Amino acid sequence: MLQQGGYFSAPPISIGMGGYTFSFSDGLPMGSTACVSTTSFCGMGTAGIANPPTYSIYGGGFGLSLNQAMATGVAMPPVMAFPATGTGIAYTLSNLPTGARLIIDNGGKDYCAILTLPSATVPWSSFNTTCYTPAMGVALTGPPTATQIKFEVPSGTAAQAFNFCVTSLKFM
């Protein structure tokens, strides 16, 4: 359940111990923007045009901390690691942006999977350090010990606006 200020503690986003939502992007003037709702697990923004070979314009998205206590004062509690379980992550999105990625970290390294359906289960072995070129990356071999899960809309040959919600998210 999403509580005021973007904190999740229960279903339909039943993953981890609870935590705050956040947005991320390469930022203006780079070309991408992102923001997240404080009342639902939704994000919107624009993924800018990619700029090879540096790719400093990478896009934007939003995420959720997996093991973070709810704030009781002014200071934001630290994000702790959470041992994921099962065989992967099941998700449902209200709208699937072109090229969207699901990202989970493991010991500080991000692993991503390209999403092709608005609702599916992504097995751990489909997460790769370079999901855009899997042969060059390293795949997960089992459940990670993670601090966050992110949904990213990467930059491409044209700018792309995005606006979608995560309506279900859980370890399977």
Measured between alpha carbons, how far is residue 123 from residues 13, 108, 139 in Å? 18, 20, 11
pTM: 0.91
Every domain of the chain and the residues it spans: 2-171
Neighbours of 140 (CB within 10 A): 20
Distance from C-alpha of 103 to C-alpha of 128, rounded to nearest angstrom? 9
Give tens-digit pLDDT for 28-60. Answer: 666 898 988 878 889 999 999 888 887 778 899
Question: Of 161 and 17, which is predicted with more confidence?
Answer: 161
CATH of domain 2-171: 2.60.120
Query: SS3 for 124?
Result: helix
> Pseudo-torsion of CA 31, 118, 116, 109, nearest 10°?
60
| CA pair distance 91, 109, nearest whole angstrom | 21
| 89 class by beta-carbon count within 10 Å (0-12 exposed, 13-18 middle, 19+ buried) | buried
List pLDDT tens digits, range 100-127.
999 999 988 999 999 999 999 999 999 9
Q: Name the helix (H) or strand (E) containing 7.
A: strand 7-8
